[in-house]
C-alpha cells in the first residue's frame, strides 16, 4: 500500500491509501492536526519535512524527506530521496538543497519541528537500509519515490 496526501488552502490535510497492485484508491480521511506543531519553536530548531515536487505532465509528484534549520523559504538542508526511472531507482541524498524556492516545488508537510541529532541519524539509517524501488520491466513497476516515504 502507498498513501496519497493533499492539503487544502485552509491548511487542512487529508490522506488516503492506494493499493499498489490494483491501483484502487481509498477514501480521503482528514489528518488530525497536531497541537505540538502549532507551538512556536526556537528559530534555530531543525525541522523535518515531506516535500512534494511537480514533475513532467502526466508524471506523479516527486516525494522526498528534507531536514533544515529554521523555517524560512530559502532554508538550506539535507534531502533524502530516490531518483531515476521507476524500473531502476537509486539513492540521491544531498546536502545544500533549497527545495522551497525551486520552480518544481508543490507543497510540503512538517513531520517534526524539533528534529534531534539522534532522530536525524535514525532517518539516515532507515533510508539507507531500505532498497530503492526497482522492477524487471515497466509492467512490473509497483513503486516509485512515493513508496519510499510512506
**pLDDT (tens digit, 9 = 90+) per residue, 63-92?**
899 999 977 888 899 999 877 666 666 778
Q: How confident is the model at residue 136 (pLDDT cuts 50, 70, 90)?
A: low
The residues near 138 (Cβ < 8 Å, ≥ 6 apart) are 86, 87
Residue 131 has a CB neighbour count (10 Å cut-off) of 10
* Range with the poorest average pLDDT among 41-45, 55-59, 135-139: 41-45
List residues bridging with 101 in a β-sheet. Answer: none
104-128 residue pLDDT tens: 999 999 999 899 999 999 998 888 8
List residues bridging with 72 in a β-sheet. Answer: none
Would the pTM count as exceeding 0.85?
no
Angstrom distance (rounded) from CA 126 to CA 129: 5
* Position 35 pLDDT exceeds 70: no
The pLDDT assigned to 40 comes to 47
The residues near 120 (Cβ < 8 Å, ≥ 6 apart) are 46, 48, 67, 78
Domain extent listing, the chain? 42-148
Arithmetic mean of pLDDT, 25-35: 78
Angstrom distance (rounded) from CA 66 to CA 142: 24
Amino acid at each position: 500500500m502507498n498513501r496519497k496526501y493533499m492539503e487544502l488552502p485552509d491548511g487542512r490535510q487529508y490522506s488516503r491509501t492506494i493499493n499498489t497492485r490494483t491501483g484502487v484508491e481509498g477514501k480521503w480521511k482528514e489528518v488530525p492536526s497536531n497541537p505540538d506543531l502549532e507551538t512556536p519553536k526556537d528559530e534555530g530548531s531543525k525541522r523535518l519535512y515531506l516535500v512534494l515536487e511537480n514533475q513532467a505532465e502526466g508524471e506523479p509528484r516527486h516525494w522526498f524527506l528534507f531536514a533544515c534549520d529554521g523555517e524560512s523559504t530559502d532554508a538550506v538542508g539535507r534531502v533524502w530521496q530516490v531518483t531515476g526511472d521507476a524500473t531502476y531507482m537509486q539513492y540521491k541524498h544531498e546536502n545544500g538543497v533549497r527545495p522551497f524556492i525551486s520552480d518544481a516545488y508543490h507543497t510540503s508537510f512538517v513531520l517534526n519541528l524539533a528534529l534531534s541529532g539522534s532522530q536525524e541519524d535514525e532517518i539516515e539509517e532507515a533510508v539507507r537500509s531500505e532498497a530503492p524501488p526497482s522492477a524487471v520491466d515497466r509492467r512490473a513497476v509497483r513503486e516509485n519515490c512515493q513508496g519510499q516515504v510512506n
